Structure 1
Amino acid sequence: MKIVKHSGAIVDFNPEKLKNSLLKSGADKNVVEDILQAIKTQIYEGISTKQIYKMAFALLKKKANFHAARYNLREAIRLLGPAGFFFEKYIARLFDSEHYETMTNLTLQGKCVTHEIDVLTRKNNQIAMVECKYHVGRDAASDVKVPMYILSRFNDLQERQHAIFDGKNKISKCWIITNNRFTADAVTFAKCSGLNLLSWDYPSPNNLKTKIDNSYLYPVTCLTTLSLSEKDKLLILDVILVKELINNSDSLIKIGLSTNRVKNVLKEASDLCRYI
């Protein structure tokens, strides 16, 4: 059976790959097997991976919202766009969870020119700049030109002290973080140049997906009990993470949810953040 990937490439349907992605949602093996069998009866020659994903998501949601929410994680990260502003705030939350101090949306003067900085971090007196490369398309990749360009900005900024955090400080480290992936050349160049990379699947095992699961850093955009417009309203209120809702249910009332819907959202949020 041939299926069509997001990129347009035609490949063989791999039920084992689908099974593994469903198991990663936290769903029981028997539930996963039932979903897999149901999908096998519905797929056809030339079906898109997007349609298969929709089937799997709908079937998971019938079993448990929080399993579907976790299965929806990569799409949820993509929904932190379209400009990537909320993705930058999300990445700052990620560093916060690892006990870094963070600052966002800054403009700093380098030796030669000024630079807009997505996130600055500080830990153990070491300050790092973080460049966030957000992609709307699932198959887009950050190629070698990205670390080459960011290295030049980093070098320019290293030449000066900056009035950041609690005084005059120098930036000594650089991160490049993307919601998708890096090409092999980008990884090779970054390693050679001393740049730190983080993507959906790099580095192994401490990649973006692993960090999210280990620290329950699920974005509100993955919740199945909220509409897209309601998720956008929460982001505007600076509610970025699901676990921020658990102790801040007032934000759900602010965006117009009924008492009953607030209960449903909080149940999904609580289940998602404690299921492991």
Structure 2
Amino acid sequence: MKIVKHSGDIVDFNPEKLKNSLLKSGAGKQEVETILQAIKSQVYDGISTKQIYKMAFALLKKTANSHAARYNLREAIRLLGPAGFFFEKYIARLFASEHYATVTNLTLQGKCVSHEIDVLVKKNHAIAMVECKYHVGRDAASDVKVPMYILSRFNDLKERQHAIFDKKDSILKCWIVTNNRFTVDAIDFAKCSGLNLLSWNYPEDNNLKTKNDNRYLYPVTCLTTLSISEKEKLLILDVILVKEIIHNSDCLEKIGLSPNRIKNVLKEASELCRYI
């Protein structure tokens, strides 16, 4: 049976791949098997992966909101747009979870011109600039032109000292982060040039997906018990991560939620971050 991907490519339906993604949501084996059989009975030749995803999401939500939230991670990160400003804040939180000092949205003077930098991080006296490449479309990829361009900016900035964390800081490293993926040429160029890359699926064992699952860095846009407008209000309040709600439930009152709604949101958040 053939299915249609987001990109328009036509591929074979792979039940095993779907099963693995369902298991990663945290649902039990029996629950996953039941969901898989239900989806198999509704799949038809030419169905889109988007429709399959919607079916899986709805069925997971019936088992537990947190399962659906975890399954929704990639889409949740995409919802940190459309401008990408909240994606930059999210990436800063990710580095902070790894004991980096962080600062966002600085303009620094290079040797030749000034540059707006998304995130700057510091650890063990080494400072790195982090450039975030946010894509609205799921199938968009950052090609080789991205690291080539950012390398030129990095080279211009590392020629001077800057007032970032201290008065005279030097930028020694450079990261490029995207919510989607990098092309093979982009990865090869970055490796050759000493640039660090981070995407949804790269590096293989330490990417956005694995970092989320290992450290519970789920964005608030994951939560299924909140509306889109409520999620946006939390982001504006600088509440970026689900775990921040657990430690500061007052923010849910600030966006107008009733006590019963707050209870439901906190239950989902606790299950998602395994704070039970």
Instruction: Give the TM-score, by structure 1 length.
Output: 0.99
Please say if 1:251 is aligned against 2:248: no
The structure-2 alpha-carbon separation of the partners of 1:11 and 1:275, relative to structure 1 and needing over 3 Å to count, comes to farther
**1:137-176 alignment to 2 at 5 Å?**
137-176=137-176
What SS is found at the alignment partner of 2:168?
A: strand
User: Structure 1 CA distance, aligned partners of 2:247 and 2:138?
Assistant: 32
What SS is found at the alignment partner of 1:67?
A: helix
**1:27-38 alignment to 2 at 5 Å?**
27-38=27-38
Partner residue in 2 for 1:99: 99
| Residue type of the alignment partner of 1:151 | L
What SS is found at the alignment partner of 1:108?
A: strand
Q: How many pairs were matched up?
A: 276
Instruction: Give the TM-score, by structure 2 length.
Output: 0.99
Gaps of 5+ in 1: none
Please say if 1:126 is aligned against 2:126: yes
| Residue type of the alignment partner of 2:44 | Y
Q: Superposition RMSD on alpha carbons, in Å?
A: 0.9
User: Structure 2 CA distance, aligned partners of 1:40 and 1:123?
Assistant: 49
Query: 1:166 offset after TM fit, Å?
Result: 2.1
Could you list the per-position Cα deviations for residues 49-81 of structure 1 after superposition, in whole angstroms to 9, with x for gaps in the alignment? 000000000000000000100000000000000
Please say if 1:222 is aligned against 2:222: yes
Q: Which runs of 4+ in 1 moved over 4 A?
A: none
Please say if 1:63 is aligned against 2:56: no
What SS is found at the alignment partner of 1:167?
A: coil
Could you list the per-position Cα deviations for residues 119-149 of structure 1 after superposition, in whole angstroms to 9, with x for gaps in the alignment? 0000111000000000111111100000000
User: Structure 1 CA distance, aligned partners of 2:275 and 2:162?
Assistant: 43
| Residue type of the alignment partner of 2:181 | R
| Residue type of the alignment partner of 1:129 | M
Partner residue in 1 for 2:53: 53
Could you list the per-position Cα deviations for residues 197-254 of structure 1 after superposition, in whole angstroms to 9, with x for gaps in the alignment? 0011111211111111111000000000000010000000000000000011111111
User: Structure 2 CA distance, aligned partners of 1:202 and 1:272?
Assistant: 23
